Amino acid sequence: MEIWPAIDLLGGNCVRLRQGDYSRNTIFSQNPGQVAQEWFDAGATLLHCVDLDGAKSGSIVNQQAIREILLAAQGRTVQLGGGVRTEATIRRLLDLGLSRLVVGTAALRDPKWFAAMCKEFPDRLVLGLDAKDGMVATEGWLDVSKTPASVLIEQVAQWTDHCAAIVYTDIDKDGMMEGPNFQALEQIQQASPFPVIASGGVTTLQDVQKLVDQKTHGAIIGRALYEGTICLKEALRIS
């Protein structure tokens, strides 16, 4: 199973939110490039980044921090979400050196457009499914739609088989350090023809083991790494 350490960017800093609440953020570092280097030094080969300012504003904001992270990555896989909503932005970010991009809000607004982008950039785009009570949330989680997560998956799968993966985040679990929503995740895995990466609430090595047992393709781990409840080397070992 893939292990993706997470770096969430807000105002140029590396932060974590609780349940997607921008007012409940904890700054873990003012040097995202250094944090990326630490995760790579600990054995990570993949890195998941989110431009939280971009998710809210609709366009990429933390470009300098992203460049610093890419410098540390030295060609390793870095995927970025938050504010990826136009073809021009996709092209610019891939040209910058990012491996994959997570598209959420724009995919919900126009699944057909997202499918076309997946065809244009095969296996470089990831569907970002952020859900609250099973419904897809957008605009940096500030708006909860009336579209069930499973319906959006069906729509995208209908038009493309070039989607690289799905990042599924259960907002109620995110940053709360109380374990993922395994039941909801299993439903998403059953509905999805694409690999599913779990995000939100991964707190202990037992959580990681359970995701492995559930045959989840990958896990994004944030606060648990920063607060020390999961050792990255151990997570990589059991995955």
Asked if residue 159 lies in contact with residue 121, where contact means CB atoms within 8 angstroms, the answer is no
The better pLDDT of the pair 22, 37 is held by 37
Q: Give Cα separations from 78 to 39, 96, 198, 212 (angstroms).
A: 12, 11, 16, 22
pLDDT in tens, 161-180: 999 999 999 887 776 778 99
Q: Which domain holds residue 67?
A: 2-238
Angle at 21 between CA 154 and CA 205, to 5 degrees: 70
The whole-number pLDDT of residue 144 equals 78
pLDDT of 140 strictly over 60: no
The whole-number pLDDT of residue 175 equals 67
Catalytic choice (53, 130, 170, 207): 130
Gap between the Cα atoms of 220 and 127, Å rounded: 14
Most confident of the following: 1-15, 98-112, 140-154: 1-15
Catalytic choice (8, 53, 170, 174): 8
pLDDT of 139 strictly over 90: no
pLDDT of 105 strictly over 90: no
Mark whether 170 is an active-site residue: no
The whole-number pLDDT of residue 18 equals 84
Q: Does pTM top 0.85 for this prediction?
A: yes
Mark whether 143 is an active-site residue: no
The helix (run of H) or strand (run of E) holding residue 138 is strand 135-138
Contacts of 54 (CB under 8 A, 6+ apart): 60, 61, 62, 82, 83, 84
pLDDT of 239 strictly over 80: yes
pLDDT in tens, 107-135: 989 999 999 999 999 999 999 998 888 88
Averaged pLDDT, 175-203: 92
- The CATH number of residue 61's host domain is 3.20.20.70
The whole-number pLDDT of residue 183 equals 92
The whole-number pLDDT of residue 172 equals 79
Domain count, the chain: 1
Residue 106's pLDDT band, with cuts at 50, 70 and 90, is very high
Q: What percent of the chain has pLDDT over 70?
A: 97
Residue 219's pLDDT band, with cuts at 50, 70 and 90, is very high
Going by DSSP bridges, is the β-strand pair 21-29/46-51 parallel, antiparallel, or unpaired? unpaired
The whole-number pLDDT of residue 155 equals 92
